[in-house]
Structure 1
Amino acid sequence: MIMWYIIVAVVILASLLVARNMRKTKKNLPPGPPRLPIIGNLHQLGSKPQRSMLELSEKYGPLMSLKFGNVPTVVASSPETVKDVLKTFDADCCSRPYLTYAARISYNLNDLAFSPYSKYWREVRKMTVLELYTAKRVQSFRHVREEEVASLVEFVKESASLGNAVNLSNTLMKLSGSVICRVGFGINLKGSKLEDTYEEVIRETMEVLGSFAAADYLPIIGRIIDRVTGLHSKCEKQHMEDESLKDDIIALLLKMERGEAGLGEYQLTRNHTKGILLVNTSGHTITWAMTHMIKNPRILKKAQAEVREVIKNKDTITEEDIEQLEYLKMVMKETVRINPLVPLLIPREASKDIKIAGYDVPKKTWIHVNIWGVHRNPNVWNDPEAFIPERFMDNEIDYKGLNFELLPFGSGRRMCPGMGMGMALAHLTLINLLYRFDWKLPEGMEIEDVDLEESYGLVSPKKVPLQLVPVLTQWS
């Protein structure tokens, strides 16, 4: 009799397993490449995942299934599929999966970028948008941007008078760092203990945050792998306590810590305050713009001619001047198209079953939006690998999150709220560099020697620093 009970139990269990597998097979999942046991498709990512994903999507389609370890994943890489993710189903797939090292660096996901979609996140987002990143607030820090750009100009003048090359990659990162330190912390980067280490700290932090960590995809053995690769130790290096936060933007957050202002039912702690702060990477955008223009002398000459015609003999350049510079704005659009600073948006997680482009995306699936792939899609852009600012002439496409062909700052609930602050600095800096100086390559270097390779991380800066020689002009 006991044997019969065992047999019946086995039959029922087998039937349930078969039924579950049949239900699984009924799902119409997006196509994707074959997978290896245990690691799935992790071996196909390479050193630049955005490029690998684009190549795979050219074969398997604009919505593609992958599996990273034990994590089911889809990748969207066309304006239509990206629009579904970021707009049509934004509410259903705007949460974040738990990312091991992002949690460590961002004080247990207490930031805007990596925090799961929740009541806490909505309150923080509302506060930052209304109080920190409105047009009025961005305008209130205009004097900081103008003062820091003026300081940059003086440094470049000194280099030009000596005939020295300027490491623009490093110099422009320090510029954006100086603005962040003054606006966010009320301190000057120049002369501080951060001055010589700022670029390295930010670069390594972005590498960690953008990594495909084995700990996220391979339970048990993942952390061991990350220790072997050095990712774990690199994360620990970036997880630093800093009690120097004060003034300006930070003052509002600190008031919330003290209970003088509030996030509804939430009480902020110091770790929340640190986690909410965003890093301004506009220095990378300016570097890429200068890189492409020095590679294309026609574009550099045309941009300089416009700037000098509009500005004429003004000693002080202001942000109002930006609006009159139509070609310069095209240059900036083309820069963030061909080199989006965040090539792969931070992964999302579907909070329920959804259907995109006719395919099933089950609950808990991770969703990657390949901005790099959208911006390099030949079905969207003619000659996508070429730097052609004129493609935006008589073209209403903009980077503010409403046109899904161009999304350097994302779109929807998770769109980068610091866009206005960053682009204001990028435009103002570029105007000054083009107006006040001519630029040439260091002696012995040809245009063909200017490298266009990007480093990979959460953001993708230029891999080889840009070195240019400034030449004083009558407007210097």
Structure 2
Amino acid sequence: MAAILLTISIVFIIYIAQFLWYRWNYMQKIKKMGLRGPKPSILIGNIPQFMREVDKAGYDDTFKLMAQWHKKYGNTYGMYFGGHMNIITRDETMIKEIFIKNFSNFANRQVPAMFKYNSLNQSLVQMTKEDGWKEVRSCLSPLFSTGKMKAMHETIKGKIDRFLDIIEKHAEINQVFDIYDDLQALSLEVIGKCAFAIESNVLYDRNDLFYIQAKEVFRQIDIKNSKLVGYSVMFPELTWLWKWLYPFSGFWAAEKPLIDGLSKVYDMRKAGEGAESVDILKLLLDKEEGLHALNLTKRQVVENCFAFLLAGYETTSTAMGYACYLLAKHQDVQKKLQDEIRETKDEKGLTYDTIHSMPYLDAVFKECLRLTPPVINFTGRECIEDIEINGLKIEKGTWIAIQIYAVHMDPDNWSDPEKFIPERFLDWNEKGSLKWIPFGVGPRNCVGMRFAEMEFKMTLARLFDNYELRIPENVPKMIPVVNGIVMSPKDGVKVTVHRRK
């Protein structure tokens, strides 16, 4: 027995020694590539620096730390996110080479080990090049054409009417309230109806199960709330273990009721219910039939609807929340926007076409997303094969990412980058510029950006046509924090609302 225990101990010690030796060599790769970066821990990379930043601030503002690293180490630097080597760049030439010109070698998203077993693997969010991402993207892109967006315009208008009823009640009592909370409810009702014709009552009932489950999924994405996700990032070598443990994770518990519900909706719609509805699920089901059917599986349809739910709910509401804060803070900008909205309404009415023809509303939209981009940590790509770009040799498996906040705050890209100046976009003619990238870069950018833009502009046009927002003197400054993928307002957006004369 003693001999067996001794043998096991020796094997274990040898395994640990080999693991540490492998990790030590792995942590030297960035230096060998000729890149600079923060010094990593042999076990968990640069996560200790992130943890110290969170402890110092009392909340997660590590997006600022990564922007500071650009100033210290250059436009392209290296770091280790747990057990993964990352190249972080804000260099426009580098971004163009990796995300556009050599896209085929960087077509797969950067996905932590634990997330590889969730219910998004057959969606555009996580689908790989090898799994047929390109074919599914070509199928889904037409769903967001101008014609399809116009068809959903009235549906969104009806949801905004409900939202404005809530705003009117806030105006009547004239008290400070969190408009971000109401915008999240609006966005979830919009995406539920437009993605798969689900009628929810989130605006009037925050105990709505649909709302609770969607919020929990986003809470579990954050590694601060999901230890298993965090461990899978730190130790990707144990992928077999994370696969086995995934069904016991909080993320699985949060996503399963939504996936089961979407699966039931799919079956009902397949049987003919809601055939007259104009929504993404109906359009996807139509793609399964006809001469040009693309043979989408039930799993692909359900998981892409799930992806639309997640992407369209949190990000759009966050963008609108920031916009409300910035406009309430800058009363002169709010007044200019209101004047344009009223003039357009009096001349042509507020329709799909007219809201997209307002130059100042478009400038506000772009400047809000530049200054406070909701998505800052979901731009990573994985190198599929060894490649050399601009003299930098990138090995297979390396993660490459853009820190969107750093690009938008780069003084080489924007003058006075920390100031809210919508006017900078009034004569901006850099279409396709990589200086403004809130929806990502290249062929794998956000497929639903037209939908998000439509909801944003419709909501702000209707809201500021009827009301004005103010920030009371005793309300603390709004603080952006990182919650997994999204940069959201830490304590919401506290304002007062007043009817316009």
Cα 1:98–1:408 change in 2 (3 A) is closer
Q: 1:26 to 1:61 in 2, by over 3 A?
A: closer
Task: Determine if contact 1:184/1:250 at 8 Å carries over to the other structure.
Answer: yes
Cα 1:324–1:233, aligned 2, differ >3 Å: closer, same or farther?
closer
- Residue 115 (structure 1) aligns with: 127
**Whole-angstrom distance in 1 between the partners of 2:357 and 2:379:** 35
Write the mapping of 1:58-457 to structure 2, written as runs, cut at 5 A. Answer: 58-107=71-120, 109-130=121-142, 132-190=143-201, 196-209=208-221, 211=223, 213-219=230-236, 232-240=249-257, 241-242=260-261, 243-245=264-266, 246=269, 247=274, 248-254=279-285, 264=294, 268-269=297-298, 271-277=299-305, 278=308, 279-280=311-312, 281-312=315-346, 317-397=350-430, 402-442=432-472, 445=474, 449-457=476-484
Shift in Å, 1:162? 3.3
- Offset from partner CA, 1:357-406 (integer Å, 9 cap, x none): 432211111112211110111221112112111222321145xxx21000
**Per-residue displacement from partner, 1:193-251 (whole Å, max 9, x unpaired)?**
9863555543442344464732033147799999xxxx943553333221234453213
CA–CA distance in structure 1, aligned partners of residues 182 and 283 of structure 2: 30
> What are the Cα deviations for residues 50-77 of structure 1, in whole angstroms up to 9, with x where unaligned?
3222221221111112223432221112
State the identity as a percent: 23
How far is 1:102 from its partner?
2.7
Deviation per CA, 1:99-118: give whole Å up to 9, x if none: 334334425x1110111122
Partner Cα distance (2:468, 2:450) in 1: 28
Counterpart code for 1:434 = F
Which one has a larger percent helix, Structure 1 or Structure 2? 2
Relative to structure 1, is the Cα distance of residues 262 and 275 closer, same or farther in structure 2, using a 3 angstrom cutoff? farther
Aligned counterparts of 2:251 and 2:212: Cα–Cα separation in 1: 12
SS of 2:77's partner is strand
Deviation of 1:172 after TM superposition, in Å, equals 1.0
Consecutive unaligned residues of structure 1, counting only runs of 5 or more, are: 1-16
Cα deviations by residue, 1:166-189 (Å, 9 ceiling, x for unpaired): 431111111111111111121211
Asked if the contact 1:438–1:472 (Cα under 8 Å) also holds between the matched residues in 2, the reply is yes
Q: 1:32 to 1:172 in 2, by over 3 A?
A: same
8 Å CA contact 1:344–1:372 kept in 2: the answer is no
Paired residue secondary structure (2:468): strand
Q: State the AA in 1 paired with 2:330.
A: N
Report the secondary structure of 1:382's partner residue. coil
Greater alpha carbon shift after TM alignment, 316-325 vs 357-366: 316-325
Q: TM-score, normalised by structure 2?
A: 0.78
User: Amino acid of the residue matched to residue 268 of structure 1?
Assistant: T
> Quick check: 1:40 aligned with 2:71?
no
Q: Does 1:471 align with 2:498?
A: yes
Q: TM-score, normalised by structure 1?
A: 0.82
Distance in 1 of aligned mates of 2:240 and 2:205: 32
| Separation in 2, partners of 1:368, 1:220 | 21
Q: Summarize the Cα distance change of 1:352–1:188 in structure 2 as closer, same or farther, 3 Å threshold.
A: same
- 8 Å CA contact 2:329–2:470 kept in 1: the answer is no
**CA deviation profile, 1:420-472 (whole Å, cap 9, x unmatched):** 01111100110111111122335x635xx231323422122212111322212
Among 487, 494, 501, the alignment partner of 1:460 is: 487
Deviation at 1:190, TM superposition (A): 1.5
Residue 122 of structure 1 aligns with an amino acid whose one-letter code is K
Change (3 A) 1:35 1:174: same
Q: Give the secondary-structure state (helix, strand or coil) at the position aligned to 1:38.
A: coil
Distance 1:156 1:467 in 2: 13
Q: Deviations over 1:276-314 (max 9, x none)?
A: 121313221111111011122222222222222332488
On the 8 A contact 2:379/2:403 being kept in 1, the answer is no
C-alpha distance in 1, partners of 2:498/2:137? 44
After superposition, the Cα gap between the structure-2 partners of 1:451 and 1:225, relative to the gap in structure 1 and judged at 3 Å, is: farther
Q: Is the 8 A contact 2:46 2:82 kept in 1?
A: yes
Q: How many residues align?
A: 440
Question: Is the 2:410–2:417 Cα contact (8 Å) retained in structure 1?
Answer: yes
Name the Cα RMSD after superposition. 3.3
